[in-house]
Structure 1
Amino acid sequence: MLKEFTQYVLDLVRPELVETGGNTYSTRQLNRLNVEHDVNAINVRSLSGLVDYVKSNFDHERPVMIHVESPTKVNVFDSLNDVNDRRTYVKAAALLPTITFEQFVDREKFQIMLQACFVPNEHRSTVIKLVSSIVEDNSITTTDDGLSQRVTAKTGVASVGNVELPNPVALKPFRTFAEVPQPESEFVLRLKEGGRVGLFEADGGAWELNAMANIATYLEEALAEEIHNKKVYIID
């Protein structure tokens, strides 16, 4: 108790400002009282929810920036304040299915994944048909030269033949917001003994740039009036 009282008395008699080496220092800790407080961002799972919020002008009428951070994340924030800080009002995160890449899965799981998590196109139909025709027995064989692969597959009710896997295959998995076109990208299709199948990405991540461009285009069209009136700015 005596220690705290002594410190209190010293604080009262100590000067608040000290100048040394050409600089001015405060001897007390100062806290700004009129600082803007952070806000809890609204979390949405769709681009349409984000657009509805921006159009509503619910919180304020100040201009906002929309940042397409990635194919699955978009944020809405305001401009820098007087202490060079900004507040984020909305965070949109895409609701996506679970898709297995870069590893082998059993044939049934692979077929379900293709039909449930990929946009229909010509290559998807070809891959589904091919994978469903694989013979499941101990005599299944594969020939692999590193570039293409041949597997034993059914060609009729009881006959068996060799089928060459198409590679690469162009597929459209659901990997970004549902409101925008899913970008098509190339994959290497591989099979292992036991009917296990794997998809391996082969576009170097270019699909991410395409997905972000699709998101920006969607937002530019949905918020055209707000952009024209300089109430909304979009970056990706």
Structure 2
Amino acid sequence: MFDKSTIEKLQELTMQAADTETIDGREYSRAKLYPVSEPSLTTIQTSTLESVVQYIADNIDGLTDKLFLHVIDPTRVAVYTSARKQWRDRETPILAIAPEQKHFFQNELSIEQFIVWLQAGFVQDEMTAQILKLVGNITSTAVQNWDDDGITQAVSAKVGLTLKQTEPVPNPVILRPFRTFTEVEQPASRFVLRLKTNGEKPPTVLLTEGDGGAWKKAAMDNIAAYFKKHDCMEPSIDNRNVIILQ
């Protein structure tokens, strides 16, 4: 139980902590102050662009001010409210983050690993079909027979790297990896395809990006175009109730 003198001392220290002091014409506080913010919406996190369209079109939270739809990068889209008058801060009602697709650029992969990655992580087209055919026929000067009955594999090896049939390795190759939201077209990029061998070890495949990151701008343009062309979004965009930023 505190006595009267202790309480008075605590009150005095509290008052002193809240005091300000002016030094060289500038006012300083003796204590660090934290603003009391207005209640804010909890950000909804989704993984699709369609959910962002649905949120805006249905106006789920009854927002009345102008909205800003920000394409942050190829994998993130956020919706911000207008700045609130008192504190000039914004709310972020919804944030869409594309599912992560793991890639292995600039990593040496075994032929089997490369084939699985090329089939699962890229849009399939004539180029992927050509590469799959090429890589599937690779053998070392060591490999005389490659038997595969679906259960076991048997390989006899020598040294070097050749093809069962002499075929050129295409370079550069134009591929479309899954790197942004699947609702939009995946940007095509230039890649360098290299086949390697190391002594008696099995051959490996190396795929290196060769567009300097230009695909990111293309992906962001595709996302912005998706919203602009969506029937549910056109009226809001035309009336400037929704502004798209990149």
Regarding TM over 0.5, the answer is yes
Deviation digits for residues 170-198 of structure 1 (CA, Å, limit 9, x no counterpart): 00011110110000001111112212112
Further displaced range: 78-87 or 174-183: 78-87
Q: 2:220 aligns with which of 180, 196, 212?
A: 212
What do the CA deviations read for 1:129-161 (whole angstroms, capped 9, x no partner)? 10000115233524xxxxxxxxx1112xxxxxx
Aligned residues: 220
Per the alignment, residue 158 of structure 2 pairs with 139
* Mapped pair 1:93 → 2:97: yes
| Structure 2 CA distance for partners of 1:32 and 1:131, relative to 1, 3 Å | closer
> What's the secondary structure of 2:104's corresponding residue?
coil
Say what the alpha-carbon RMSD is for the aligned residues.
2.6
Amino acid at match of 1:171: L
Whether 2:235 is the aligned partner of 1:235: answer: no
2:180 is aligned to 176
Q: Supply the distance in 2 between the matched residues of 1:13 and 1:97 (Cα, whole angstroms).
A: 56
Shift of residue 31, structure 1, vs aligned partner? 6.2
**Comparing 106-115 and 168-177, the one that deviates more:** 106-115
Structure 2 stretches of 5 or more lacking a match?
Answer: 144-156
d(CA) in 2 for partners of 1:96, 1:25? 47
91-100 or 208-217, which deviates more: 91-100
Residue aligning to 1:159: none
Q: Report the Cα distance in structure 2 between the residues aligned to 1:107 and 1:141, rounded to whole angstroms.
A: 15
Q: TM-score, normalised by structure 1?
A: 0.82
Q: How far apart are residue 32 of structure 1 and its match?
A: 5.4
Q: Does 1:75 align with 2:85?
A: no
Give 1:158's aligned residue: none
The residue aligned with 1:49 is 51
Distance change in 2, residues 1:25/1:190 (3 Å) = closer
1:163 shift after superposition: 2.5
Alpha-carbon separation, structure 1, partners of 2:244 and 2:137? 48
Counterpart Cα distance in 2 of 1:176 and 1:208 = 9
- Report the counterpart of residue 108 of structure 2 in structure 1: 104
Alignment partner of 1:62: what SS?
Answer: coil
Shift of 1:203: 0.4
Give the Cα separation in 1 of the matches to 2:27 and 2:220: 49
Gaps of 5+ in 1: 143-151, 156-161
Task: Give the % identical residues.
Answer: 36
Aligned to 1:84: 88
Is contact 2:21–2:30 with CA below 8 Å preserved after alignment? no
Contact 1:76 1:91 in 2 (8 A): yes
- How far apart, CA to CA, are the structure 2 residues paired with 1:124 and 1:12? 71
SS at match of 2:87: coil
Verify the 8 A CA contact 1:68 1:75 in the aligned structure 2. Answer: yes
SS in 2 for 1:77: strand
Does the 8 Å contact 2:67/2:241 carry over to 1? yes
1:225 aligns to 2:225 (yes or no): no
Provide the C-alpha distance between the structure 2 equivalents of 1:183 and 1:29, rounded to a whole number of angstroms.
49
2:124 is paired with a residue whose SS is: coil
Alpha-carbon distance between aligned partners in 2 of 1:12 and 1:42, rounded to the nearest angstrom: 40
User: Residues 40, 141 of structure 1: CA spacing in aligned structure 2 closer, same or farther, 3 A cutoff?
Assistant: same
The alpha carbon displacement at 1:5 in A equals 1.3
The one of 167, 170, 175 equivalent to 1:163 is 167
